[in-house]
Structure 1
Amino acid sequence: MKAVHFGAGNIGRGFIGHMLSASDYDVCFVARNPMKISMLQQRQEYPITLANKQQDTTIVNNVTAINVSEQHRVAEEIASADLITTAVGVSALGDIAEPIAKGIYLRMKANNHNPLHIIACENAIGGSTRLKKRIYPFLDERTRAKAERYISFPNAAVDRIVPAQNHEDPLQVTVEPFYEWVVHRPALLDGFKEIHGVHYVDSLEPYIERKMFTVNTGHCVAAYLGHIAGFKTIRQVMSNSTLRAKVRHVMEETGAMLIRKHGFDSEKHQKYIETILGRFANPNLTDQVTRVARSPLRKLSPHDRLVRPAMQASEFGIAIPHLTSAMAAAMLFDDRRDEEAMKMQHIIREDGLSAFIHERMGIPEEHAVHQQVITRYEELQGSKLKTALT
């Protein structure tokens, strides 16, 4: 079995590529970094290390790589592949749509009717569906019609913390022991070979929202609060009892919404929250606050990890004082190395706070959450959190 995976970064190598290789797939990474591409071609293996006391290391083998710019070679790989996966970041899905489309065209032209599944392993709701919408405009009507019969785009939820890192071996990756990869089973075509360790479910939304609005929400909240308080790493944030409690409170507010919406068991969900908090505090991982906080405009958009759970909780009548504080903290993120952060600060200065909340976050001026965010923003801006922590 052959898999083509777009993205040879830490998530691609340390999570998706590892799981595919462990399920006896030959993995061809499609990447941009010439050095990593060359090393993967030469070695056809790389090490991953678990962030535990033992520092357990596994060798991932049966891998190679090609450059995304070699579109004909990429298309040929896709034409004969059994599976395509991505871990490029949701904002980059448009960049890989045309190469995938060219591969689909070659595949359909050659009458390869073996089932092909394309799974976007991104931090986004409906990532594979988004990718499909990007790919199909590059296909002619006849090819699209054939693709509808033989190609499927199952949505997925993925969860593993893999921070930015540097090793003597550029291919080595350190990952946390915990991982979760959930795939929507009804979208699978006959003949699909299941990936070892993947959880296949009939209803994906509860799993996606549980992960997005617990792990992703909690992680970025820790980063935004930590930035205001002057911390450099997520581990430092989680070592501060006041900040850790604030992160927990946010996750409990999103949890109340998830329990109401999806019927999760409250005790089990609380244990899930505690597990996530423990993962954030892993002493064997060093994750930079600025990395986790980056791209605040995306994270404050209407359908992402802060605004969406806040608005859904509000609809259920759930109080969200900590979640509105978290949104305010995100709006104060002003790292000069982050292009989105600088753009956000410019918009707030030029258009005003209320306009930003309405136009960028999608929260109407008359909505109660709108004013709550303004109030918390003004409180945090005045205190810079150092006094607000108490």
Structure 2
Amino acid sequence: MKAVHFGAGNIGRGFIGAILQQSGYEVTFIDVNAELIDRLNKDKAYEVVLADETKESFTVTGVSGINSKEHPEQAAAAVAEADLVTASVGPHVLPFIAPVIAKGLSAREAGSEVNVIACENMIGGSDQLKKEVEKHLSEDEAARVFASSGFPNSAVDRIVPIQHHDNPLTIEVERYFEWVIETAHMKGTQPDLKGTLFVEDLVPFIERKLLTVNTGHASIAYNGLLKGYETVKEAMADQEILDVLEGVLSETSTFLTQKFELDKEQHQMYVRKIISRYKNPYISDGLDRVGRAPLRKLSAGDRLTYPAVELDRQQLVPVHLEKTIAAALAFNIEEDPESVQLQEWIAEEGPAAALEKASGIESGSSMSERIIHYYQQIK
């Protein structure tokens, strides 16, 4: 069996690619990073190390790479021959891989079924990728391609710490992982993927992960930076940061358990597991890296604004989420383009207008006023 994975980065190699290889697939990575692709083609293998006290490792073999910038035709041909196509490139990069995927799917034999799965930190990643692919197909081509090509959505969760290795292919990842795939839009036979959960309705799993793992991470980053910390490990040693984190996750838990009728005890076990992962000293990350792209993280459907607004509609004041949103407004990292844009909006139009632009929370609303009050206390 052949699998094509777009993105030879940390998640690609340390998570998705490793599972594909362990599930019996020959994996071809497609990327524009010449160093990684050249090394993959030279070594045909790489090492994955588990980020805990054991430092257990295993070797992923039978892998190769294609540089889609230099060899787009070769990349499309690989898609045309694949039994499964996956991607972990980041939400903003999906439009750039779509042309190659569209060309590859168009070249497949008639009736040859395949699934294309976006493994991104976003809701509806595969839906979005399908829309981007469709832009590169004629109406007749799209009808033919999508008749045999499924785009099932998925939710992924695995933390990859900051790391440096002599071999650029070596990757360290946490032991815990979760890959949930929705069966609703699959074509053909369901792939047998080691450790992966297939469900009919992915929404509860996506929102549970987004509003627990990602919201929690954002809380640690933005509130930790306010106190001068540089890493998750440092921030998690501060009881005040931990208290805010627990408050944030209590608020998102209220929203999630009500919306999806989740078992409260089981969900609390999940929350405790997530907090224990943040405390793992072997997967500590830089707070500036965790907090990057604040405009996306503050956007209406994302990890902070979405649960806060929904709770506010229920007349439940999400104090800890609002404090974290205020902390996100103060995120000021020159190397991050979204941070620069956010700070320009604040300087030119004021924090309330910037908040509305970023999140949709209307300036002058009671929620906006509370958040700006917290922001002014910070400043």
Check whether TM > 0.5: yes
The TM-score with structure 2 as length reference comes to 0.97
Stretch of structure 1 that moved more, 14-23 or 317-326? 317-326
Q: Is the 8 A contact 1:5 1:86 kept in 2?
A: yes
- What is the alpha-carbon distance in structure 2 between the residues aligned to residue 68 and residue 229 of structure 1? 43
Aligned twin of 1:47 = 47
Aligned twin of 2:134 = 136
Aligned twin of 1:252 = 250
Cα deviation, residue 366, structure 1: 5.0
Q: SS at 2:332's partner residue?
A: coil
Q: Which string of whole-angstrom CA distances, capped at 9 and with x for unpartnered residues, describes residues 262-318 of structure 1?
A: 111112111211111110110112311111011111111111111111112222332
Cα deviation, residue 204, structure 1: 0.6
Q: SS at 1:54's partner residue?
A: coil
Stretch of structure 1 that moved more, 167-176 or 365-374? 365-374
Aligned twin of 1:11 = 11
- What is the alpha-carbon distance in structure 2 between the residues aligned to residue 309 and residue 82 of structure 1? 38
The TM-score with structure 1 as length reference comes to 0.95
Question: How do 1:203-242 and structure 2 match up within 5 A?
Answer: 203-242=201-240
Aligned twin of 1:90 = 91
RMSD, aligned CA: 1.1
Cα deviation, residue 360, structure 1: 2.0
- What is the alpha-carbon distance in structure 2 between the residues aligned to residue 288 and residue 332 of structure 1? 17
Q: Is the 8 A contact 1:257 1:318 kept in 2?
A: no
- What is the alpha-carbon distance in structure 2 between the residues aligned to residue 294 and residue 367 of structure 1? 27
Question: How do 1:148-187 and structure 2 match up within 5 A?
Answer: 148-187=146-185
Q: Is the 8 A contact 1:51 1:284 kept in 2?
A: yes
One-letter amino acid of the counterpart of residue 341, structure 1: S
Question: How do 1:1-390 and structure 2 match up within 5 A?
Answer: 1-69=1-69, 70-107=71-108, 110-111=109-110, 113-381=111-379
Percentage of identical aligned residues? 39
- Stretches of structure 2 lacking an aligned partner (at least 5 in a row): none
Q: Which string of whole-angstrom CA distances, capped at 9 and with x for unpartnered residues, describes residues 235-281 of structure 1?
A: 11111111111111101101100011011111211121111111011
- What is the alpha-carbon distance in structure 2 between the residues aligned to residue 168 and residue 89 of structure 1? 25
Cα deviation, residue 115, structure 1: 1.4
Q: Is the 8 A contact 2:79 2:105 kept in 1?
A: yes
- Stretches of structure 1 lacking an aligned partner (at least 5 in a row): 382-390
One-letter amino acid of the counterpart of residue 226, structure 2: I
- What is the alpha-carbon distance in structure 1 between the residues aligned to residue 265 and residue 190 of structure 2? 35
- What is the alpha-carbon distance in structure 2 between the residues aligned to residue 80 and residue 316 of structure 1? 51
- What is the alpha-carbon distance in structure 1 between the residues aligned to residue 184 and residue 301 of structure 2? 24
Return structure 1 stretches of 4+ with deviation > 4 angstroms.
none
How many corresponding residue pairs? Answer: 378
- What is the alpha-carbon distance in structure 1 between the residues aligned to residue 202 and residue 314 of structure 2? 21
